Chain A
Amino acid sequence: MKPLGFSILLAGWIIVCASFTLLVPGGARVAFLVSGVCVEIMGLGLVVRSHIAPRRVRR
């Protein structure tokens, strides 16, 4: 789950970078950029969850 979470984090960042390099200023660019941030939040959630689970096993 950890590698997947970090991969999604990176994917979100690439979407953010693509938004301002490839799109012209306007609503589509903002929407694309915010979507990238949302993908990052999903990835962060996965990374966080993957670090809670093994700790409970260790205890």
Chain B
Amino acid sequence: MMPQPVLSDLAALLCIASILMIPLAVAGLSLINTGLGRARSASQMILSSLCVFGVAALVYFAFGFAWQGYPGGPGYQMFVAGRGWSWIANSSFFLRNISFDGSPASLASLFGIFSVALAAVIPLGSGTERWRLGAACASTALFAGWTYPLFAHWVWGGGWLAQLGTGAGLGRGFVDAGGSGTIQAVGGLTALSIAWILGPRYGKYTVEGMPSAIPGHNSVLVLFGCLLTLIGWLGLNSAGSVLLNGVELGQVIKVILNTTLCASAAGLMAAAFTYVRFGKPDASLTANGWVGGLAASSAACAFVVPAEAVVIGGIAGGLVILSVEWLELRLSVDDPSGSVSVHGVAGLWGILAVGLFGRFPSSAATGASGAPAGQWLAQLVGIATLIGFVLPLTYGLNWLLDRFYPLRVSPEGERQGMDLYELGAGAYPEFVTHSEEFMQRKL
């Protein structure tokens, strides 16, 4: 069992302040997802974000945190070759065994509720304009109650991935300070599953298989969302580093600096990349690059120097642009917000970056002390777990849900737009786009 971390009062206060910033990242992603969809589904998208936040928080409170647990908490061990590996926590449901006194366990539960909400909003972007509200909530319940807590336990709850350092001699074990894997990659792979199960939007691909451009309706929302996500990510990375990785308070300055530099480099790389390719910088792809930089920054933000954060961000920006294009053109994946590339691909790159660039101070309480030999192998095991276990799990759960409760809206609903079909009214009633906007609301 991993030792329970100890936090000073000042560290606990900083954690609370940082955790309170995380909802701004959720707000930012919601605005980005809304702006990158068409106007006729804007209201449904932002309502879906709100409902998904609520479902994720409630389910995580009821069951999720009990499966996730915290370092030093109770858990089930699996014994392989004479060594115990913690595979799931055994805390009480409904947070009954948590004393809300600023203890690391209580802070971990607070951090977890906002983190799971952030992760749950990510797949909404790939299901834009065709994912029913009820189905999104049901899928979120599975995500927040099982998929996310299981992987979060392995990384942040003292589970087997965190034990790789002490148990198998792989560096410090799997390290993910702010959630490049636990939040971003898990959310991004779920987004891929959703995009696969739902299929592309009507009219997205021609009979010959060529994709048609369906531009987002509001780039102002998208770019303002990017600024909000930065603030949220500063809190996410700071709280994760201090609370779950034992990073000293003074190092938070480096965390904030690295997060900002990583996003800046990624955003500028994306703008430059699109300028070179298309003659003008593309607003939505630049936004994707920016958020991709934030996703990649999370894992390594406390363990690299600022110059390395710039390199990580630059590579993330380029990867996101190439990935968006590749998924749409070659793999026929209709992902209107680029969630798979932004959170999945950039998140996986962020995990790998810890193995390539990470340097660990002796005070970081993430496992064994000394030089992190084999760290890249620990990170590779984490990536292999995400692709080899989490992707089949999240796909299987959503596929099963789709059998009983179809995820995709009917063709009629897709033709009308999600606002009118599911909510009975559009987001922008004063802007007449076509006559169907004025159909009677069903009472």
Contacts and interface: CB of A to CB of B under 8 A. Distances in A.
Of B80, B331, B388, chain A has the most CB atoms within 10 Å of the CB of B388
A52 B80 contact: no
Nearest to B395: A6
Interface in B199-251: 199-200, 205-207, 209
For the complex, would chain A's binding face be called helix, strand, loop or mixed by DSSP majority? Answer: helix
A13 B381 CA distance: 8
Interface residues of A, number: 27
A16 B378 CA distance: 11
B380 interface: yes
12 contacts: A6-B395, A13-B384, A16-B381, A17-B381, A20-B164, A20-B170, A25-B374, A33-B381, A36-B388, A37-B383, A51-B332, A55-B200
Nearest to B164: A20
A42 B381 CA distance: 17
A36 B384 contact: yes
Contacts, number: 74
A49 B297 CA distance: 31
Interface string A24-47: 010000100110110010011000
B205 A59 contact: yes
Given A37-B380, A37-B384, A48-B331, A9 B170 contact: no
A21 B82 CA distance: 9
A59 B206 contact: yes
A55 B199 contact: yes
B199 A58 contact: yes
Nearest to B388: A13
Given A9-B391, A13-B388, A37-B384, A56 B209 contact: yes
Interface of A: 6, 9-10, 12-14, 16-17, 20-22, 25, 30, 33-34, 36-37, 40, 43-44, 48, 51-52, 55-56, 58-59
B389 A10 contact: yes
Interface of B: 80-81, 83, 85, 164, 168-170, 196, 199-200, 205-207, 209, 331-333, 374, 377, 380-381, 383-385, 387-389, 391-392, 395-396
A13 B391 CA distance: 11
A44 B340 CA distance: 15
Closest A-B pairs by Cβ, 4 of them: A13-B388, A20-B168, A16-B384, A21-B80
Contact of B392 (A9, A20, A30, A48): A9
Nearest to A49: B331
Contacts of A36: 384, 388
Given A33-B381, A55-B199, A40 B388 contact: yes
